[in-house]
Amino acid sequence: MYWDLYYPQPSRGTAVADSVRPQKGEVISGFFSLNALKEDRREEQYDSIFKSEKASYLMLRKYFDEIEEKIEVL
């Protein structure tokens, strides 16, 4: 009994294993689903970076405009 718990023997029947095994089309479909998820993630990351870069640019632009106004006053 101890031996069977830690070192299980391979099943002699394959009916269960065959029903659980993914078919060829399912593997390919899953592969493309993962690629689509990765592409969506990359696109979200790009959008996030783009928005943060734009915000940084606008903040710098505002800062330089304020400095320019102060210089004009002097």
Q: What is the pLDDT of residues 12-69, one digit of tens each?
A: 555 545 555 656 666 677 777 888 889 999 999 999 999 999 999 999 999 999 999 9
Q: 28-54 burial by CB neighbour count: b if 16+ within 10 A, else e?
A: eeeeeeeeeeeeeeeeeeeeeeeeeee
The model's pTM is 0.49
Give residue 1's pLDDT.
47
- The enclosing H or E element of 47 equals helix 24-73
